[in-house]
A and B are shown apart, each in its own frame.
Chain A
Amino acid sequence: QVQLKESGPGLVQPSETLSLTCTVSGFSLTSNSVHWVRQPPGKGLEWMGIIRSGGSTDYNSGLKSRLSISRDTSKSQVFLKMNSLQTEDTAIYYCTRMRDWGQGVMVTVSS
């Protein structure tokens, strides 16, 4: 069945870079787009970006300068890298293909 699973560090220091991996199964990255979405504690959903089936990317305007999404189709993995993290980047980070979602990974930015 379809699964998406996020992995990465739970704690990141301010000003450092966040690296997350989304490992998918049950579908092909070359036929499906994968999005990253985040949710600060107690707040709403924020769309971060997408990597489409053809490999093109698009990003949230407010995060574009700090964010990069890439993939390794041979490993069925999608990657998120975001630099210059601040406390307001503390959130649950989800990868999703919209009709299927990962469980999310909580990332706390703190010294």
Chain B
Amino acid sequence: DIQMTQSPSLLSASVGDRVTLNCKASQNINKNLNWFQQKLGESPKLLISYTNNLQTGIPSRFSGSGSATDYILTISSLQPEDVATYFCFQYNSGPYTFGAGATLELK
């Protein structure tokens, strides 16, 4: 099975900061990676599909990049409403797998 390792697991940042969250796959996943945001008490929300495809309605401050085994979610200017836990998810080959999550909090 492909293992997905997210780092850091917890990040404190200030409003306006540029934030980067990392996701590393145990083998090449050919950009078949999604990013989800989950706020407390809510269902997850798809932010980005296939590494860098921003979903409709998601603010343009979110972006994704990467290839092979290494992927990044970037928030260009952190807003208070971005406080959440972020999960990466690989769907390159079954069984599919989530990363453990990265919790983003305000400093």
CB within 8 Å of B: which residues of A?
35, 37, 44-47, 49-50, 58-61, 94, 96, 98-99, 101-104
Bound-state Cα–Cα, A24 to B48, Å: 23
Bound-state Cα–Cα, A46 to B34, Å: 14
CB within 8 Å of A: which residues of B?
1, 34, 36, 38, 43-46, 49, 55, 85, 87, 89, 94-101
| A102 in contact with B43 given A44-B87, A45-B101, A47-B89 (CB within 8 Å) | yes
Pull 7 A–B residue pairs with CB atoms less than 8 Å apart, ordered by A.
A44-B99, A44-B100, A47-B95, A94-B43, A94-B44, A101-B44, A103-B43
Cβ contacts under 8 Å, B100 to chain A: 44
Cβ contacts under 8 Å, A99 to chain B: 46, 49, 55
Which residue of chain B has its CB nearest to the CB of A104? B43
